[in-house]
């Protein structure tokens, strides 16, 4: 009997639930999901290739594939094979309030894990690492970030781009005017229409917007980097049961090597809706994140 008790404790610890826990003893997000019979996934509409709408207006992408792994784990954990999955669009500006308010249970997009945001929310393991920089029109002649002096730049509301640009050593004295798009598609459109001289954002998101634009050859990405940042899915703070499930699930995808196929699907293969290949191989920082899953913020 004692051996059985020890075994049960070990089993419960492995799934992040207290020994002897029942549905009534669930807490936080898992308790909410069990009681409502649904999980609500927050997604972006134009964060290519992480979380965006296809030609049928359905959310797809690299982050969505990983988040669906979590949804599958929740179904198994709670023994709810018919769990209802609600998909809720969010923006850079409202994603944290939506999560905190309980309107979404998991945010799946292109969100930077920062120590500032960790005061408000929690994150799963890093699933991508980016460099913050700028896209410009080739014809502009702008080849480095200091060339933005006196220019109007666009970026997306609720992102970290402009503060980084103002703190960066080579641009902290640069005079700029910023205008904001509600999402990455709108911010890029401001550049494409000539209303801004640069779109300051994460390199892979810039690559996604350029690849899906009408004239990709018109644009270039400045190789200079403001900062390297980790991306991950976002979840509510102080929710150890759900956090344990998320970390275990995504950590297993990474350590098993399954992440390699998911990465190839979205970054090294033609993707919907236009069949464009972003041709974005894994960087050393991304490989390191997969080899040693962690939720460290910047």
Nearest 5°: the CA angle 183, 70, 44 is 5
* 137 and 111 within one domain: no
* 201 and 112 within one domain: no
**Rounded alpha-carbon distances, angstroms, from residue 298 to 125, 240, 283:** 13, 21, 18
For 250, the enclosing helix (H) or strand (E) is helix 240-256
pLDDT at 9: 44
* 122 and 267 within one domain: yes
* 240 and 214 within one domain: no
**Residue 247 to residue 11: CA distance in whole angstroms:** 16
**Residue 291 to residue 298: CA distance in whole angstroms:** 19
Lowest mean pLDDT among 36-40, 197-201, 279-283: 279-283
Residue 80 belongs to a domain: yes
* 237 and 114 within one domain: yes
For 246, the enclosing helix (H) or strand (E) is helix 240-256
Q: Which of helix, strand or coil describes residue 210?
A: helix
* 281 and 148 within one domain: no
* 236 and 114 within one domain: yes
Domain containing residue 94: CATH number: 3.40.190.10
Show the DSSP H helices in 216-283 as ranges. 240-256, 258-267
Domain boundary among 228, 250, 278: 228
pLDDT in tens, 45-55: 999 999 999 99
pLDDT at 24: 54
Residue 89 belongs to a domain: yes
**Residue 206 to residue 194: CA distance in whole angstroms:** 16
Domain boundary among 206, 228, 250: 228
Residue 250 belongs to a domain: yes
* 157 and 106 within one domain: no
User: Domain total for the chain?
Assistant: 2
pLDDT at 160: 85
Residue 144 belongs to a domain: yes
Residue 296 belongs to a domain: no
Tell me which residue has tokens 């191989």.
281
For the chain, counts of helices (H) and of strands (E) = 10, 16
Average pLDDT of the chain is: 92
Residue 67 belongs to a domain: yes
Q: Is 17's pLDDT higher than 60? A: no
With contact defined as beta carbons under 8 Å apart, do 55 and 272 qualify? Answer: yes
Read off the pLDDT of each residue in 271-291 and give the average, rounded to a whole number.
95
* 236 and 116 within one domain: yes
* 152 and 36 within one domain: no
Domain that holds residue 242: 26-127+232-291
**Residue 200 to residue 237: CA distance in whole angstroms:** 29
* 96 and 153 within one domain: no
Q: Is 11's pLDDT higher than 90? A: no
pLDDT in tens, 105-125: 999 999 999 999 999 999 999
With contact defined as beta carbons under 8 Å apart, do 159 and 22 qualify? Answer: no
pLDDT in tens, 192-247: 999 999 999 999 999 999 999 999 999 999 999 999 999 999 999 999 999 999 99
Domain boundary among 192, 208, 228: 228
* 220 and 237 within one domain: no
**Residue 90 to residue 74: CA distance in whole angstroms:** 22
Write the CB contacts of 143 (distance below 8 Å, at least 6 apart in sequence): 222
């Amino acid at each position: 009997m004692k051996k059985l008790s020890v075994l049960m404790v070990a089993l419960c610890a492995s799934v992040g639930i207290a020994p002897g826990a029942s549905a009534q003893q669930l807490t936080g997000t898992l308790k909410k999901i069990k009681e409502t019979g649904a999980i609500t996934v927050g997604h972006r509409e134009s964060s290519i290739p992480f979380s965006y709408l296809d030609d049928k207006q359905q959310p797809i992408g690299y982050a969505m594939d990983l988040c669906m792994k979590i949804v599958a784990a929740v179904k198994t954990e709670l023994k709810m094979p018919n769990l209802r999955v609600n998909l809720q669009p969010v923006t850079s500006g409202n994603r944290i309030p939506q999560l905190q308010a309980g309107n979404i249970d998991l945010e799946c997009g292109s969100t930077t894990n920062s120590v500032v945001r960790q005061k408000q929310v929690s994150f799963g393991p890093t699933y991508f690492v980016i460099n913050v920089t700028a896209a410009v029109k080739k014809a502009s002649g702008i080849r480095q970030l200091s060339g933005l002096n006196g220019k109007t730049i666009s970026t997306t509301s609720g992102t970290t781009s402009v503060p980084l640009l103002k703190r960066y050593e080579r641009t902290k004295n640069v005079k700029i005017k910023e205008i904001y798009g509600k999402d990455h598609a709108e911010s890029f459109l401001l550049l494409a229409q000539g209303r801004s001289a640069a779109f300051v954002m994460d390199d892979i998101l810039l690559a996604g917007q350029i690849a899906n634009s009408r004239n990709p050859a018109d644009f270039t990405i400045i190789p200079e980097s403001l900062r390297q940042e980790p991306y991950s899915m976002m979840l509510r703070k102080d929710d150890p049961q759900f956090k344990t499930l998320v970390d275990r699930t995504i950590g297993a995808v990474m350590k098993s090597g399954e992440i390699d196929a998911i990465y190839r699907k979205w970054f090294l293969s033609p993707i919907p809706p236009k069949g464009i290949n972003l041709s974005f191989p894994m960087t050393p920082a991304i490989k390191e994140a997969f080899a040693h899953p962690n939720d460290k913020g910047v």
